[in-house]
Amino acid sequence: HIEAGFELLKLRQINNPDLYLNKTVLVVGVKYLEEIDELYGEFLDEKKGFQFGTGFDKYNIEKNINLLYSAIAVADKYWLGVVVNWEKRSITTFNCAAMKFTDASLVPYVNAYAMALPFMIRNFFKDVSMDTSKFDKNCI
């Protein structure tokens, strides 16, 4: 259900660009982070040279994008909203199941993204001067 909601939001953004005044925001949906999860083991073997592949081109990430909206599944039952802020170099998760999960217990779910995304973006834009240090993680 979450992926369908993201797809509808992306479709609305495409069909009604005048409603979305902030052109620095991109809704990528659930699959974006799932694909990073699938490749994370290979990424750890060779961080600097690893390429996440051409499949990520479909997300239309451009240099002017500052925020990515997505979601991740926790324990195959709960969903966390995720906002990646390129400018502040941070990942914020929205803990909708605070009674079930502490903020500290959610860190492992976003740690892979905090490590992989800086390298992914640097390689995607072919800009070796980009900072590849780990993103900060916040939970709300």
Name every residue whose Cβ is closer than 8 Å to that of residue 27 and which is 6 or more positions away in sequence.
6, 9, 10, 13, 68, 69, 70
* Domain ranges across the chain: 2-139
pLDDT for the residue 124: 77
Is the per-residue pLDDT at 62 higher than 90? no
Matching residue, tokens 């070796």: 128
The segment with the largest mean pLDDT, out of 31-35, 80-84, 95-99, 123-127, is 80-84
3-state secondary structure the chain: CHHHHHHHHHHHHHHCHHHCCCCCEEECCHHHHHHHHHHHHHHHHCCCCCCCCHHHHHHCCCCCCCEEEEEEEECCCEEEEEEEECCCCEEEEECCCCCCCCHHHHHHHHHHHHHHHHHHHHHHHCCCCCCCCCCEEEEC
Tell me which of 3.40.50.300, 3.30.310.130, 3.40.190.10, 3.40.50.720 is the CATH number of domain 2-139. Answer: 3.30.310.130
CB 134 within 8 A of CB 115: yes
- Rg (C-alpha) for the chain, rounded Å, is 15
Kindly report, residue by residue over 70-96, the tens digit of the pLDDT: 888 888 778 888 999 988 999 999 888
CA distance 80 to 138: 12
The whole model's pTM is what? 0.80
Which tokens sit at 86? 């390129």
The segment with the largest mean pLDDT, out of 21-30, 83-92, 106-115, is 83-92
